[in-house]
Amino acid sequence: MALRAALRNKCGLSSLLSQLSSCSSHGGVRVSPAFIAQRRNNSSSSAVKVDFDQSTGVAVLHMQSPPVNSLSLDFLTEFCINVEKLEMDKSCRGLIITSSQPKVFSAGLDIMEMYGKSPERCGVFWKAVQEMWLKLYSSNMVTIAAINGSSPAGGCLMSLTCDYRIMADNPRFSIGLNETQLGIVAPFWFKETLVNTVGHRHAEMALELGLLYNPSEALKIGMVDQLVPEDQVLTTAAQTMKKWLAIPDHARQITKSMMRKPTVEKLVSEREADINNFVSFITKDSIQKSLRMYIEMLKKRKG
């Protein structure tokens, strides 16, 4: 059932990009055809904005890297620095992650970080992706994803690391680990994060077909925990956070660690091998060629 429905969304990133383009043309925001290649020129403090409320102990991290919060090396670096700061701050007990960009939570890994780059650079990039996952998946804070837009690939991964996922109930939004549709492969720790969330069988289909789910489908298989109207995503996240913070921190943290430690430790112990795997895969001629074709396709679509 879910498969058939999800397959309707199967054009994947193309569909998402098309949707975003369409939105932007209506919305008056010009979106460059190679927008996923854009690097932010602003200062390192502007790709994300953190609002920390000392009275509640809850921080809200707004991703605000136009147009679609692509996870570039710069973005990931800034993101991780901010999460690390909050993690070290004993007064911060909860973190809500959301997007300031319209219609998208995060479009995932920046494809331009993987195209035409040196192996060394690719390795540095991948290490930053690992770092983002490690920081979030093992965070001592309560983490809630306030998914107020589409969240493919790396954007979905970021959501999956959180303790709870609230998604805007807009059927135009989609979420999923759709890497195979681009000819690339989600590594084992993406896979294990997904298996831990939706179980082995749904993960198998989702990953092999690179499925993107609309909110209802995502809720049905457990990829997200709750749907609310678009304008209530953030307020619901704040309310839900209160319930999580009612639990004594030490008991919740030990329990969270017990649930996630095996998965975290596996990446920690295989981190270098995982980087090598990624670099040797992504720098293959055949993979570079398909990435180039994909980028050309995006340009033509714009043209």
Interacting residues with a second copy (CB under 8 A): 1, 3-4, 7, 10, 163-164, 179-186, 188, 191, 195-201, 203-205, 207-210, 219, 222, 225-226, 243-244, 246-248, 250-252, 254-256, 258-259, 286, 290
* Closest-CA residue to 155 (of 101, 105, 222): 105
Which residue, 52 or 188, has its beta carbon nearer to a second copy? 188
Residue 44 Cβ vs a second copy, minimum distance, rounded to whole Å: 33
DSSP strand pairing (175-176 vs 151-152): parallel
* Closest-CA residue to 154 (of 192, 197, 121, 186): 186
Residue 34 Cβ vs a second copy, minimum distance, rounded to whole Å: 22
Give me the catalytic one of 178, 210, 214, 267.
178
CA angle, 177 then 178 then 182, to 5°: 140
210 in catalytic set: no
27 in catalytic set: no
154 in catalytic set: yes
Cα–Cα dist 69/47, whole Å: 8
179 in catalytic set: yes
Give me the catalytic one of 179, 192, 210, 291.
179
Task: Please give the backbone phi and psi of residue 177, each rounded to the nearest 5 degrees, phi first.
Answer: -95, 85
Which residue, 85 or 200, has its beta carbon nearer to a second copy? 200
Instruction: Report the SS3 class of residue 151.
Output: strand
Give me the catalytic one of 109, 136, 160, 291.
109
Residues designated catalytic: 109, 154, 178-179
